[in-house]
Amino acid sequence: MSNNDNTSSNENPPENDPRPKELRTPKSLLLVHTGHGKGKSTSAFGVMIRGIARDWKVGVVQFVKSGNWNVGEEKIGRQLGVDWFALGEGFTWDSQNLEQDKKTGAAAWNKADELLKSGVYDLLIFDELTYLLNWNWIETQPVIDALVTRPEHINVVVTGRDAPQSLIDIADTVTEMRNVKHAYESGFKAKRGIDY
């Protein structure tokens, strides 16, 4: 590949602007952060901070994390006026009743759908939504329909591993986090302030 190819070389800075000639401003965007690497939710909460800085009305629905986890992003989000709904039951491997978890997940989606349809928000983050879709705790097509028909001003970020192709297809931006190395592999527990 030539040195002028902006996507092929780390040795030379790009010489050509890779963006299309005609750029337009969207009314909103749907972002999907997926993959098996760390940083999907963290990246979404970076978008949350940007939205807050723009005086957006922001809401977060967490589908796996429970309100008992005392995570740092929830603490700062609430301090900054984010409507926060940690509606999960925690990791499935800790579950005592997966059928109840499934019902909890469906109720969490109903809340997310309500927030989406309300038209109140400028940004909604649906953290770990892909798990509910992949585990068949909720049907995928109604979620896709809700995202496609959302009020045109509402930006949405969806996070979670293994995003279904139908979600990828409707998204404006999809980022896949790839695991190169993780502290867990060396036997380290999650670290407060870094991981939560």
pLDDT (tens digit per residue) in 116-166: 999 999 999 999 999 999 999 999 999 999 999 999 999 999 999 999 999
Output the pTM of the full model: 0.86
Query: Using the 8-state DSSP alphabet, how is residue 94 labeled?
Result: G
Question: Within 13 Å, how many C-alpha atoms sit on residue 134's CB side?
Answer: 15
Residue where the block lists tokens 């909460």 = 45
Contacts of 93 by beta carbon, 8 Å cutoff, 6+ apart: none
Percent share of the chain, pLDDT over 90: 64
Task: Please determine, for residue 50, whether its predicted confidence score (pLDDT) is greater than 70.
Answer: yes
Residue pair 170/148 in contact (Cβ under 8 Å)? The answer is yes
Domain 33-89+97-177: which CATH number of 3.30.200.20, 3.40.50.300, 3.30.365.10, 3.30.450.40: 3.40.50.300
Instruction: Find the angle CA(162)-CA(164)-CA(165) to the nearest 5 degrees.
Output: 120
